[in-house]
Amino acid sequence: MTNVAVVGLGIMGRGMAANLAANGHEVAVWNRTPGRVPGLAEAASPAQAAAGAEVVFEVTADDASSRQVWFGAEGILAGVRPGTVVISSATLSVGWVAELAAACAERGLTFFDMPVTGGAEGARTGNLVMLVGGDPGRLTELDGVLRAIARQVRHFGPVGAGTRFKLVLNALQAVHFAAFGEALKMAVAAGLDPRQVGEALVERPGGVVTGLAWNSLLTPPEPINFSAEWARKDLAYAQRMAGEGGHPILDAVLSIFSRAVEEGHGKDDWSVVNRQDGVPVA
């Protein structure tokens, strides 16, 4: 049994906290908006949640929210004890992860960037894949904790490497998502039946993401799986990581997601980009 804190109980954090508790760990939680997850006793602040923890997970939204919950007056760093293992499982920018890791090292904390993949379903069922940057020697200490939330732990290198991989992955997935909508429009304009086309496409290479895109057109997920605003955020961070020029597909898909957010769809499931502009469903 390990004392674990989870800061951020959104779509991902709430599943992680529930699975940690269900696997016998002592879990302290904090969320900006209290009472989002019935039945969980919430600490008064991130500092308080972190104070008794051996392992702290932060799973908020973006760089700004992450900065707030780590560095705020009542933030994680104000409460955590030296020697604690501290983890961010949000998808963040490379620059912010480096800054956070340095602040943690100064305080004698062991930091891992550990963004996740597996979606809402993976978080709910304890089947996430953890994408890890940090000291591999210390990672094995986390086996018992990670077993409660993940089916796989993939180590990519030093601190920041998990984030770098996650941004590459999400850029590829978003490109595929948006391309699927365009393909379906093309197919229908060419006289094909959208249902036949969708069902045939999910069996082709890349079918897993196509399957997600297709299913979300047939049945828009409610509650949502992943918001358009965080998909846009990940693409913006990926573009920042990639640097100027040479990534026209990434640039185009970022502008598609940006437009959806600007038009007020930020809180909708990211499949909203395929439910606009007349993408057809039978």
Ligand X SMILES: NC(=O)c1ccc[n+]([C@@H]2O[C@H](COP(=O)([O-])OP(=O)(O)OC[C@H]3O[C@@H](n4cnc5c(N)ncnc54)[C@H](OP(=O)(O)O)[C@@H]3O)[C@@H](O)[C@H]2O)c1
Residues that bind ligand X (CB under 6 A): 8-13, 31-33, 36, 59-61, 64-65, 68-69, 90-91, 116-117, 119-120, 225-227, 230, 234
Which residues make Cβ contacts (< 8 Å) with residue 2, sequence separation at least 6? 25, 26, 54, 55, 144, 145
- 2 or 45, CB closer to ligand X? 45
Catalytic pick from 166, 185, 233, 267?
A: 166
- 36 or 275, CB closer to ligand X? 36
Which residues make Cβ contacts (< 8 Å) with residue 217, sequence separation at least 6? 181, 184, 198, 271, 274, 275, 279, 281
List the beta bridge partners of residue 26.
3
CA distance 238 to 166: 9
- 42 or 135, CB closer to ligand X? 42
- 84 or 216, CB closer to ligand X? 216
DSSP-derived letter for residue 80 is P
Residues 265/228, Cβ–Cβ less than 8 Å: yes
Hey, how many other C-beta atoms are within 10 angstroms of the C-beta on 46? 31
Smallest separation, CB 232 to ligand X (Å): 10
Smallest separation, CB 3 to ligand X (Å): 21
271-275 contacts at long range (C-beta below 8 A, 24 or more positions apart): 271/177, 271/212, 271/213, 271/216, 271/217, 271/220, 271/221, 272/228, 273/177, 273/178, 273/181, 273/228, 274/177, 274/178, 274/180, 274/181, 274/184, 274/213, 274/216, 274/217, 275/217, 275/220
Nearest residue relative to ligand X (C-beta): 10
- 162 or 194, CB closer to ligand X? 162
- 187 or 265, CB closer to ligand X? 265
**Residue written as tokens 């705020």?**
72
* 166 is a catalytic site residue: yes
Smallest separation, CB 13 to ligand X (Å): 6
Smallest separation, CB 202 to ligand X (Å): 19
**Residue written as tokens 């956070």?**
100
Question: What sign does the CA torsion over 28, 80, 4, 133 have?
Answer: positive
Smallest separation, CB 12 to ligand X (Å): 4
Smallest separation, CB 193 to ligand X (Å): 30
Residues 84/138, Cβ–Cβ less than 8 Å: no
Report, as residue numbers or ranges, the catalytic residues: 166
